[in-house]
Chains A and B, each alone.
Chain A
Amino acid sequence: EAQVTQNPRYLITVTGKKLTVTCSQNMNHEYMSWYRQDPGLGLRQIYYSMNVEVTDKGDVPEGYKVSRKEKRNFPLILESPSPNQTSLYFCASSSTGAGNYGYTFGSGTRLTVV
């Protein structure tokens, strides 16, 4: 089944403790992206990647890092999480550009930072 897989689905952590949210897609898509969803703000793009080793900032990149060492994986790294990063996170992938065809989204990761 074609899908984007994120792990974990739920995570509660403490301020300052580094964490990684994994994302993997099995569709051989070139483009991948991370979004966060907050009430009243919709979804906002954190980072995106157009191919292996090619990443760039989205609208809200502060406090996050990403890497794209393999085509299928696009982990999101929070080096020192803070409470304002409590949010619902989505990983997404697209074959030819989300601006044209939209994204296929993962199931989401609900992160709570206390």
Chain B
Amino acid sequence: AQKVTQAQTEISVVEKEDVTLDCVYETRDTTYYLFWYKQPPSGELVFLIRRNSFDEQNEISGRYSWNFQKSTSSFNFTITASQVVDSAVYFCALGAPNQGAQKLVFGQGTRLTINP
């Protein structure tokens, strides 16, 4: 069975600090996809990144970076020099086409608060 665990329920940091959100996944599939979504206070879900299981290269997009390590089944998300606008709930998700093409399994979410 597929499972995603985000052990950090809530994180609170001061603006400009770096912060890492952890994501650990479980799957028996060799082909799978990992995602991060952001849910700002307005409530919508915003896609951040998609990574397939064959690409372990780290990704950087501005202040955001993602570290994918198959050896530890982790797909962690780091925000560098955090800003108040980064305050949101962040979800990690796992998709495996062989398990049903329509399914994304989500973690519990991490609520990130950036204090001025």
- The residues of A with any CB-CB pair to B shorter than 8 Å are 31, 33, 35, 40-45, 48-50, 56, 58, 88, 90, 94, 97-108, 110
Residue count of chain B within 8 Å CB distance of chain A: 27
Most chain A CB within 10 A, of B45, B95, B107, B108, is at B45
Number of A-B contacts (CB under 8 A): 77
Given contacts A42-B108, A43-B91, contact A102 B47 (CB under 8 A): yes
Whether the Cβ atoms of A99 and B43 lie closer than 8 Å is no
**What's the dominant secondary structure at chain A's contact region?**
strand
Separation of A94 and B37 alpha carbons in the complex (Å): 15
Which of B12-20, B60-68, B69-77, B96-104 makes up part of the contact surface? B96-104
- Contact pattern, B 80-116, Cβ under 8 Å of A = 1, otherwise 0: 0000000000010101110111111011110000000
